[in-house]
Amino acid sequence: MIDTPRPRRLRATPALRRLVAETRLHPAELILPVFVREGAGAPVPISSMPGVLQHTTDSLKRVVADAAAAGIGGLMLFGVPEHKDAVGSGATDPDGILNVATRVAVAEAGDALVVQTDLCLDEFTDHGHCGVLDADGYVDNDATLDRYREMGVAQAAAGSQLLGLSGMMDGQVAAVRDALDDAGYANTPILAYAAKYASAFYGPFREAVQSSLQGDRRTYQQDPANRREGARELDLDIAEGADIVMVKPAMSYLDVLADAAASSPVPVWAYQVSGEYAMIEAAAAHGWIDRRRAIEESVVSIRRAGADAVLTYWALELAEWIR
């Protein structure tokens, strides 16, 4: 008599399930996005992202210390400036909030974790787009690359240990790589947000960075309907010299992430974005889902799809749970 297959045998106890788990989380694979607000006298809560704050440079020091103690892999810094203009001047000002915050974080972190910076103009422009606009209000790709070159050098000079190119301009990786090399920062690596989609799940982030966006970003971020295009974008960024590539958002694009993980010769990361965070927090606040289980399951799913590391607003909390 042939016995009925019994896969359930390996699910019988917590110890067995843990022993045969195919995907595990580790604090070193988690990266915490952090917002630093210029002129703030105290941390400012973000209403659409419960538990997430706009930090001061002083409270940033505490976050860095907590992150180092938790053993997470790094921080991704976003600046929230008091003043904006058409070309995002604050992004390249050595005394601009992001560059100041970078110096603070690097000094506090030492070699305990990787201090990373968002390289994009959207937080710094009065129109809220990721680049410079032409006379017709269209984002000028090549003029924007000139600003990205300046921004990359400014961030590297401030001590950023990894530049996160998130603007989705064509040729941005090659442009910033050349600028870094020419300025003596050949050892500064680039994280390319290669497959970044024009997603509705970025909504709460707009509050977090006090975005002044007019219109949308569909002319440069990818169409959510397109999977093969994501693979093409990754190939282009790798060819231009990206050291790491990113898929963003994460949870709605696990197919794109899995494709990238299967083909990429460089590490592949994913960003669990603000809307993904907010949905789980809102449902849990209403008692509709088990908060901890939902958080853990969501991040495990991103790792299972192939992400080598995950940017998530739960990085510190998760690290404490899984240590």
Question: Could you state, in order of their start, the residue ranges of all structural domains in the chain?
Answer: 25-322
Q: What is the pLDDT of residues 83-117, one digit of tens each?
A: 999 999 999 999 999 999 999 999 999 999 999 99
Picking from 1-10, 65-74, 77-86, 132-141, which range would have the lowest pLDDT averaged per residue? 1-10
Q: Is 248 among the residues known to form the active site?
A: yes
**Cβ neighbour number for residue 86 with a 10 Å cutoff:** 12
Q: Is 9 annotated as a binding residue?
A: no
Q: What is the pLDDT of residues 177-220, one digit of tens each?
A: 999 999 999 999 999 999 999 999 998 888 888 887 877 899 99
* Alpha-carbon span 114 to 314, nearest angstrom: 17
Q: Is 217 annotated as a binding residue?
A: yes
Q: What is the pLDDT of residues 263-281, one digit of tens each?
A: 999 999 999 999 999 999 9
The average pLDDT across 17-25 equals 96
- Is-contact 262 236, C-beta < 8 A? no
Q: Is 293 annotated as a binding residue?
A: no
Confidence of residue 261 (pLDDT cuts 50, 70, 90): very high
Q: Is 228 annotated as a binding residue?
A: no
Q: Quick one: pLDDT at residue 1?
A: 63
Q: Is 160 annotated as a binding residue?
A: no
Which among 248, 299, 309, 315 is annotated as catalytic?
248
Distances (CA, A) of 258 to 22, 116, 139: 15, 24, 31
Residue in 191, 141, 182 with CA at minimum distance from that of residue 163:
191
Q: Is 84 among the residues known to form the active site?
A: no
Confidence of residue 141 (pLDDT cuts 50, 70, 90): very high
Task: Tell me what the pLDDT averaged over the chain comes to.
Answer: 96
Record the pTM: 0.96
As beta bridge partners, residue 270 has: 247, 310
Q: Quick one: pLDDT at residue 323?
A: 81
Beta-carbon contacts of 3 under 8 Å, excluding residues fewer than 6 positions away, are none
Which among 37, 149, 196, 303 is annotated as catalytic?
196
Check: CATH 3.20.20.70 for 25-322? yes
Residue in 156, 151, 158, 246 with CA at minimum distance from that of residue 197:
246
Confidence of residue 221 (pLDDT cuts 50, 70, 90): very high
